Amino acid sequence: MSDVNDTLGSVGRAEMLGRTLDARIRNIRTATPGVINRYLEGDQVADVELPVRPGGEAQPVLASRPVLIMGGGDGYLVFPYSAGDTGLVVVCDTDIGAWRASGDVGPPADDGRHGLGGGVFIPGLRVAGEEVAAPAGATVLAGGDVRLGDSAATKLAMNDDIVGAINTWAAAVSVAITALGGDVTAATGQLAIDLAASKSKIKVDS
């Protein structure tokens, strides 16, 4: 009889241990899709909603989560994020708040592991059907106000006015070369010029 009780007791302990481990694992977060609810450009943080809800349970809005900014040295890429932008929330293994506040080496603010409080938002993960269209093999930097440089004196703002000016210049070059007996062919965004006298070729990207 004691053997039977020992067996039942072992099964009960094993089941209890299994349930405890399952509950603990469910609370360990690693990565999940996220949607920006609000973006604070000056602080480069966002309030992020979690659309994937295990078990149908409501998920908290992650407040003031740091948004990954691509860059290093003196170079960086900054985008005008807004509500509705999607991405991936990657959860650090410990809380990173203390490190972000000071940049100093030290312990985390709490001893929690893989909690949503350690989430970092990485933009770019998209819903199927909302992929970014780009020509095959092309590297595209697109936007309503694309700037190169870090000051008003050095930046090049590739807006519609500059693109229009380049196209106007290309059209004027085309007329001039044709008048001189050259050969001009045009394609989308390009002007190819073949000078009749020297047969040297010039290609102007617009």
More confident position, 170 or 77: 77
Q: Region 59-70: what's the mean pLDDT?
A: 90
- Judged against a pLDDT cut of 90, whether residue 166 lies above it is answered with no
Q: Region 48-68: what's the mean pLDDT?
A: 88
Q: Between the CA of residue 113 and those of 28, 83, 91, what are the distances in Å?
A: 7, 29, 9
What's the distance, Cα to Cα, between the start and end of the chain in Å?
Answer: 90
Q: How many CB atoms lie within 10 A of CB 173?
A: 16
Q: Which of 45, 17, 187 is nearest to 119 (CA)?
A: 45
3 state SS of 146: strand
The CATH code belonging to domain 27-131 is 2.40.50.230
Instruction: Name the residue type at position 190.
Output: Q
CA 11 to chain centre: 48
- Judged against a pLDDT cut of 50, whether residue 200 lies above it is answered with no
CA 145 to chain centre: 18
Domain with CATH 2.40.50.230 in the chain: 27-131
Whole-model pTM: value is 0.62
Length of the chain: 206
Q: In which residue are the tokens 């007996």 written?
A: 181
CA 12 to chain centre: 48
More confident position, 95 or 82: 82
For the chain, what percentages of helix, strand and coil (3-state, to nearest 5) are there?
30, 30, 45
- Judged against a pLDDT cut of 70, whether residue 188 lies above it is answered with no
More confident position, 48 or 178: 48
